[in-house]
Amino acid sequence: MRKYAAVAQTLFKAQIIYRFDVILTAVGTIWRVVFAWILWGAIFADHSEIGGFTFQAMLSYYVINAFLSTMERSHGTLGEISNKIRDGSFTKFMVIPSNTQLHFLSQTIGASAYYGVFAVMATAVSMLLFRINLTLTGDITRILLAVVMFLLGTVFMNSYSFFVGIWAFKFQDMTFAMHLLPSVVSFFKGELVPLSLLPEVFVHILRWFPFTHIIYTPTMLLTGMIDASEGLYGLAILCIWTLGMFLVSQLTYRKMRIKYEGVGI
């Protein structure tokens, strides 16, 4: 475990070099709240409540959602893996004495910790600018469930990104995986609109998939919009998918890596 902790620490420090990237990410976090304030402000002009949300509750949803989305940095894993496989530099991950997937998970944790600091600041600025009275639950059970689900969701997303990224061993063009899939996943995670506003049948189907329980369910728990029983259900679904994705990605990697002809192999 010590070597993975060292990787996370190294990635945390490495983010200092790319300060402009971090600043842009923080600005992006604030922009999500700006977008919500403009869009939903116009919609709520004629409504006091929509889908169980008041205007302040809706803004609270987007503030927490933007914060969690900024913290979750596993999306960079997909692009990094596929690019390194293409240019041959992935070789180093195949020869170092560590589990490749856990190595990338450690990188994600290190980067997430650093971005989390700026996510807190961006969230505070958003609340001050738009005078948002953040709606937060006082139920400790919901809060703990939300934290555990987010952490487990980060592990799942890292495994998912690793699994998709290693298909660069087999496919020349990964444009679809690198650009279209993240947009679809972002929608399923509730980053664009609260999923509870979608048709009930669609929401029921999404409850069986892990993406819903990475950002959307923790956000709804923290805002008090759903009860702890729904959180427990989401946690169970997420546990099953996380374990399954980790095992599938490991088996796929072991099968594909033997065909790799990179630099130094």
C-alpha to C-alpha distances, 53 to 56, 62, 217, nearest whole angstrom: 8, 12, 15
Contact 132, 204 (CB under 8 A): no
Instruction: Give the count of beta carbons closer than 10 Å to the beta carbon of residue 210.
Output: 24
Residue 39 clears pLDDT 50, i.e. is over it: yes
Q: Phi and psi dihedrals of 144, rounded to 5?
A: -65, -40
Residue 250 clears pLDDT 80, i.e. is over it: yes
Residue identified by tokens 């990224």 is 165
Residue 263 clears pLDDT 70, i.e. is over it: no
Question: 246 or 14: whose pLDDT is higher?
Answer: 246
Contact 149, 213 (CB under 8 A): yes
Which tokens in the block code for residue 220?
């709804």
pLDDT band at 265 (very low <50, low <70, confident <90, very high): very low
> Coil, strand, or helix at residue 53?
strand
pTM (two decimals): 0.88
Cα–Cα distance measured from residue 226 to residue 116, given in angstroms and rounded to the nearest whole number: 25
Cα–Cα distance measured from residue 140 to residue 194, given in angstroms and rounded to the nearest whole number: 23
Instruction: Note the pLDDT tens digit of each residue in 134-184.
Output: 888 889 999 999 999 999 999 999 999 999 888 888 877 666 666 777 888
At 137, which helix (H) or strand (E)? none
Q: Which residues pair with 50 in a beta bridge?
A: 53
> Coil, strand, or helix at residue 50?
strand
Q: E strands along the chain, which residues?
A: none
Residue 76 clears pLDDT 50, i.e. is over it: yes
Contact 219, 68 (CB under 8 A): yes
C-alpha to C-alpha distances, 193 to 64, 212, 223, nearest whole angstrom: 13, 12, 15
